[in-house]
Chains A and B, each alone.
Chain A
Amino acid sequence: MGVRVQTEDFDVGAESRALQADSVGAITLFVGTVRGLSSDNGVTAMTLEHYPGMTEQELERIEAEARDRWPLENVTIIHRVGRLEAGDQIVLVAVASAHRQASFDAANFIMDFLKTDAPFWKAEERGGTKSWVDARQSDTDARDRWTS
């Protein structure tokens, strides 16, 4: 439970079991992964950089905002940093609540705010070239729908 920024991989099953409690009747898990070579972007690997200290603080703030909106039992947010290859897991958002709607909605909310507010940056490798990923307006739009 809680917020973690780490280079190591994570075990989705173990993280899910850790959220279980008597009061929990629903667990929503979101896992973000590195799209591979066969997808349209031809990425072979990526490196994730972050702002230590601020990242954890922003993720905790986002979790607190989700808890203000929905009755949540347990929340885990894990984001990896460092070099990741196609197929690797990048991010886990796991939300446990008494009933399913709160956990579905809160997981969606947390990911939308993580995408636009948590200070992570991706550099993609295509063959031998590295390029920084540009932020997307569609991510900002996805976040703003929660406040409109």
Chain B
Amino acid sequence: MTIRPDRRTEPTQLRPFSSSQNLLNRCDGSAQFQFDKTAVLVSITGPTEVKFRDEKLDRASLEVIVRPLTGLSSTKERVLESVMRSTFANVILTGLHPRTSIQIVAQVMKDDGCVSVGVIAVCLLVVCGVRYDKLDNSSAKSLTSIAYFGLHQVQSAAINATTMALLDAGIPMNALVGSVTCMVGKEDGEILMDPTMEELSRARSIHTFAFDSASRTSVMMDENGGKGTSGGVVLYSESTGDFTEDEYFGCMSLCQQATHKVHGFVRTAVEKKIEREYQQITGS
């Protein structure tokens, strides 16, 4: 098995992830989730007063704001906002807090350079008087495509951070949401989980999935010959690049298994937090 650039041996191995909870004290809940070099901090405020035009009579209205690492927010952030809004609208029990607003604010804290590398590459090409569309060199083109591939990592981290922040805020949910990213390699069609920037330059397509944690058997699993895992339902799926149907479902099943690990990690993190809180009561 070839060793991956960051010394991982298995294609299905994820990079180490870490998280922190309850970081901010002016909001109702907050958490930061980090996939190696990509980190997103999410704060939750709610249920609070809602603007009249956003008021819904029978449920809370979800408001999502995403801020990029650098610069002003643009259409990319709007896409991520609508992704998160639709994903979490299925999970948060908004019917328990009608005519209120739950505000989710996500700030990208660390980005493993995908976006900035792409921007710098385009700028250098422009300075040298070279037009992008006249390039024959495919690696130069791939540098800029990494810019778009890198967004997937931010989406995964943002979804995981939002789950942990919602747990911290005590907003009622019907399941956890976990998200991972994987890619399909250009030469061999090999599926790699949680790719690094180097691996992304050799990607033909990249996929992000979000699954919920409720343990019911997923109907989709039957098409893959049943890996035997009773997993969650797909809440979100985004793919960029060229891929076949088999590759897509292969990625989905691998991501589902990897998402189990993310859910397990969230569970461990919450247990540790509760343990520490109880220590203050019973121990001291």
A binds B: no
A residues touching B (Cβ–Cβ < 8 Å)? none
B residues touching A (Cβ–Cβ < 8 Å)? none
